[in-house]
Amino acid sequence: MSAASKDNKIVNEKIVENATCTFCGCCCDDITLTVDMDKKVITKAQDACILGKAWFLNHVIEDKPIARIDGKEVALDDAIDEAAKVLMDAKFPILYGMSDTICEAQRQCAPMMDDCGGTIDTTTSVCHGPSGMAFQGVGEPSMTLGEVKNRADFVMYWGGNPAEAHPRHFARYAVTPKGMFTPNGKDDRTVVIVDVRQTKTAGVADIFLQVKPGKDFELLWMLRAACKGAAIPDNCKELCGIEKDVVEDLFDKMKNCKYGVIFFGMGLTMSRGRHFNSGALMALATDLNEFTHFVAKPARGHGNVTGADNVVSWQTGYPFGVNFSRGHPRFNPGEFTTVDTLTRGEADAAIVIASDPVANFPKPAIDHITSDKCKLISIDTKQTPTSEAAHVSIQTSTYGINTGGTVYRMDDVPISLRPAFDSPFPSDLEVLTKLRKKVNELSKKANRPYATKKYI
C-alpha cells in the first residue's frame, strides 16, 4: 500500500497488478486495480473493457444482511440449517447455477446433491449446453487462446457478438494481437463474421455474411459437403441468404489458410437446431483438417462457466443436467436440466448459486420456481429477482474482487484470482462447505442408502 495519493486524495491506496476480471469468459488477467482501502471500493481498473470497468467499479460493500429467511434477517448458521432441511425434505431437489463462483466452491455442490439424491445443473444448460451435447457426439477440435494469438490467420465468429459480450477478445486473443506467426496482427488475419444481424462485431470483419435467421445449419452443411468435394448448390442464396460465389470464396479461404479457428455463440445454440448446429460447426472444423489445421471453440459467457463444466465433469463424468436419485450420476438433458424440471413442476426445492433464473428463465419455469410448490434458496453476491423471491437468501462476497480461488478461461485454461480487498460477507466456499457438511449429517441421520459414509 502506498501513502497519500495527491490526485484523488486516497490515503490508504492499494494497487493490485495482474488482477483477473471474472465478468465474462475471457477472464482477462492483466488488469491493474487501484483500491481505496478505506472506502473499500475500486477506483480504477486499468486495461479493463467497458464490461470489466462496470464489474470492478460498481462493486460496493452493500449494507445488507448476510442471511435472510422469508425476508427476515437471521444468523448465517440458521440460514444454512434451514437450507439443508429444505434440501433433505424435498422429493426432487435441484441445484442450479455456479458459473459465477470459484471452482473450489463448485466442488462442494455435486457431493451435496449426491447426499440428498438431487439434481445438479449449471447455467451451461441455457448457454452452451447444446454444444456440450455436441462435444459428446462429434468431439471438440480444441485449442488455447494463446495458440490462436500466435498462429491463427483465419478467424471466424459465428452467431456471436464479442464486440459487446467479450469486448477484449479481439485485442487480446484473436484479431489484432501480434503473435509468433502473425507478426503484423490483423494484417496477417482474415476475419469473417457470420450472423443474422449486423452487430457491432461486424465492424471488424473483412467478410460479413448475413445468414438467413434459422439457416445456419444449411450453410454449415453446405461447407461440410464442399469439404467432401460437393459443389455449392445454385440455390445457395435461397437456402441460406448468401450468394453462391461468396460461399465458394469463403470455402477457398477456409481450406487455404494456415491455421483457422471458429468461435461460436448462442446464435447457434439457442436457435432451432441447437446441438445439431453446434455439432455441424465442430464437424466442419474437423473436416477442414483434411486441408489445413482448423479448430473451433464456444465463446463462453460467464466468468467461470467453463470451470463449472470442468468441475461437474470430473466429479460426475458429465458437464450439466446430472441426477443422483438412483445413487449414481445420470446425465439426460431435457429430463434433468433445470428449465425442464421447473417447467414440468417436478422440482420441489431449488438451490440457486450465483445465478438469476427468476430474471432469465422462460415464464413457465419462473412461475414454478417462485410458487409455493418450490422452496427456493439463493446464494448470490448481489440482490437479484431470484434472491428477493427466495425462502432462504444468503449474500456472499464476490469472487475475483473479495475472494481468491481458481477459474477456468473459456479455453479451459485455469487461472488463479488475486482479490482486491476483504468483504464482511462470507465466501461462497465457506457457505457451501458448511451447507454440504450439514446436508451430509442429515443424510446420515436419515439413513439415506446412498449418503456419503465418510465426509471428505
Kindly state the smallest distance separating residue 108's Cβ from another protein, in Å: 23
DSSP structure class, residue 355? -
Is residue 338 involved in binding another protein (CB under 8 A)? yes
Query: Between residues 125 and 182, which has the closer beta carbon with respect to another protein?
Result: 125
Is residue 334 involved in binding another protein (CB under 8 A)? yes
Query: Between residues 54 and 230, which has the closer beta carbon with respect to another protein?
Result: 54
Query: Between residues 4 and 50, which has the closer beta carbon with respect to another protein?
Result: 50
x-or-dash string of contact with another protein, 268-307, rule CB under 8 A:
-xxxx-xx-------------------------x------
The Cα–Cα gap between 345 and 371 comes to 10
Cell of 41: 471500493
Residue partners of 333: CB distance under 8 A and separation at least 6 = 125, 129, 133, 320, 321
Query: Between residues 197 and 373, which has the closer beta carbon with respect to another protein?
Result: 197
How many residues touch another protein under the rule CB under 8 A: the total is: 60
Angstrom distances, CA of residue 46 to CA of 18, 19, 233: 10, 10, 50
The Cα–Cα gap between 356 and 359 comes to 6
The Cα–Cα gap between 389 and 373 comes to 13
As separate numbers, helices (DSSP H) first and strands (DSSP E) second, the chain gives 19, 19
25 touches 302 (CB < 8 A):
yes
The Cα–Cα gap between 179 and 197 comes to 30
Is residue 120 involved in binding another protein (CB under 8 A)? no
Q: Which of 8, 46, 136, 198 binds another protein (CB under 8 A)?
A: 198
Is residue 130 involved in binding another protein (CB under 8 A)? yes
Q: Which of 81, 218, 309, 356 binds another protein (CB under 8 A)?
A: 356
Query: Between residues 130 and 419, which has the closer beta carbon with respect to another protein?
Result: 130
Query: Between residues 226 and 339, which has the closer beta carbon with respect to another protein?
Result: 339
Residue partners of 193: CB distance under 8 A and separation at least 6 = 156, 157, 199, 201, 202, 204, 205, 207, 208, 209
x-or-dash string of contact with another protein, 158-197, rule CB under 8 A:
---x-xxx-x----------------------------xx
Residue the block writes with cell 467497458 = 50
Is residue 118 involved in binding another protein (CB under 8 A)? no
Kindly state the smallest distance separating residue 77's Cβ from another protein, in Å: 27
Kindly state the smallest distance separating residue 164's Cβ from another protein, in Å: 4
The Cα–Cα gap between 12 and 2 comes to 7
Is residue 365 involved in binding another protein (CB under 8 A)? yes
Residue partners of 52: CB distance under 8 A and separation at least 6 = 21, 23, 28, 31, 45, 167, 168
Name 297's bridge partners.
263
Q: Which residues bind another protein (CB under 8 A)?
A: 23-24, 50-51, 54-55, 58, 121, 125-126, 129-130, 133, 161, 163-165, 167, 196-198, 200, 210, 213-214, 266-267, 269-272, 274-275, 301, 320-321, 333-335, 337-340, 342-344, 356, 359-366, 382-385, 388
